[in-house]
Amino acid sequence: MASTTVEDAEKWANDGTGALSIKLVRSAEQTAQLSKAEQHLISSFHPKFVYPIFGQEETIYGYQDLDIQLQFDSSSLKNFLSIHFKDKLPDSSPVQPDPIEETLYKFIPPDYTKSEEIFKKAVEATASEVFSPPGTKISSYRATHSKGKGKSVATGKFEPWVKCESGEEEDDEEVIYELWAANWKTPGFREFHRRMQIFILFFIEGGSYIEEDDHRWEFVVLYERRKRKTDVDGQTPYSYHFCGYVTLYSFYHYPSSTRLRLSQFIILPPYQSCSHGSMLYSQIFQYLLKRDDVTELTIEDPSEAFEDLRDKEDLKLLMKHKVFNLDLDKLVPVDREWYQATKEKWKLADRQFARLLEIALKIRFDGEEPNPKMERLYRIAVKERLYRFNYDSLVNISKEERRERLQETFEAVMKDYERIILGQRREIE
């Protein structure tokens, strides 16, 4: 056994995010259905964060070559846990190894197994019993097949996914992605949520578990749906595999409606960089537009990447419906009655709708003959909004400095709008 002096202490320290591997496991039949290009769906991946579980330093101490495997049945999300290491600090050491299993036990349901054989049998059993998502299906989408179709109105770029319209005949060999809505009263959902909530800690900075006794939470879960090769009499002919989910929190909105706040949004790594996040957000937004009880959708502390996603999808939807196809003199300066009515119709927060209007106008100015008068009015309108938004930081400085700061902010906003219009991703440090 190696010594435990300060000099060699580092050899007993393990990076928690690297030591922990996550995997979504399918049955043998379901695995055989995957093409070579889909093998990443069953490959291991690492969490982005583990500090909510193992502490701020994200270090697991007391082991050499630590390997933690946390596997999930891709349908039921039941767990298998294995912990292996090359060496471990002895009991006689003045510093004891971190209690890995005892720590994880606080964050996952207690019915996990440490037997790989038992876990594999459980995965096969879930597949044979035919797992069905808890809740109500609210939307679905599939890959875009038709040439020349699926282009964004806002950017003109090809969109990889298209919503499955009601009554549309589906190809049983096709992979479909479905959104299912649920709440705490949905049969079976509370137990399912306890299995999936750990992904919030792993992939959302500052993420935390939510209270199960708060009835104001709503959920939308995204699943990959595939045709089963083996028919089961009287059962669904499809298998479902967990891709990610969204939490929504409702607030009372006077006099008799609800304002929903999108709180947590997660797409698991095997499904990232494929535009599933864009589809999940856009389909949820369109679902909420149809709900008479919902007045507005807001976003809680969005990341820069999520703001980009939201801007793109909101702009695409509004331009598809020609919301901004009005005479310029009604938009610059904006007709307040039209502005308020349109913002409420599309259930958008004030700042978001104002930004979408500004982006749409920039697209229009860039594509038409120069119009100095309207472009000047546009600059004034944008700066007025920026002044209101940054009032606290601008009100106590000199007029000249205020003018300079507003101009700098305006130029930065225009540069960012240009990036959004071109469909470029934001670079995040």
Q: What is the pLDDT tens value at each position of the chain, 429 positions in all?
A: 444 455 577 899 999 999 999 999 999 999 999 999 999 999 999 999 999 999 999 999 999 999 999 999 999 999 999 999 999 999 888 899 999 999 999 999 999 999 999 999 999 999 998 889 999 999 999 998 644 455 554 445 678 899 998 766 666 678 999 999 999 999 999 999 999 999 999 999 999 999 999 999 999 999 999 998 776 665 668 999 999 999 999 998 887 789 999 999 999 999 999 999 999 999 999 999 999 999 999 999 999 999 999 999 999 999 999 999 999 999 999 999 999 999 999 999 999 999 999 999 999 999 999 999 999 999 999 999 999 999 988 888 999 999 999 999 999 999 999 999 988 655 433
Domain spans in the chain, listed from the N-terminal domain onward: 11-129, 130-301, 321-429
Distance (Å, whole) CA 187 – CA 29: 28
Q: Please, what is the Cα angle at 271 between 46 and 38, to 5 degrees?
A: 100
Known binding residues are 265-267, 272-278
CATH number for the domain running over 11-129:
3.90.360.10
Distance (Å, whole) CA 178 – CA 164: 9
Q: Say what the pTM is.
A: 0.91
Q: Is 124 a catalytic residue?
A: no
CATH architecture of 130-301: 3-Layer(aba) Sandwich (3.40)
Whether 319 and 360 have beta carbons less than 8 Å apart is answered as: yes
Question: What pLDDT score does 253 carry?
Answer: 81
Same fold, 11-129 and 130-301: no
Tokens in use for 350?
């004030």
Distance (Å, whole) CA 74 – CA 41: 10
Question: What pLDDT score does 33 carry?
Answer: 94
Which residue is catalytic, options 116, 129, 300, 304?
300
Question: What pLDDT score does 113 carry?
Answer: 98
Known binding residues for acetyl-CoA are 265-267, 272-278
Interhelix angle 304-320/350-367, nearest 10 degrees: 70
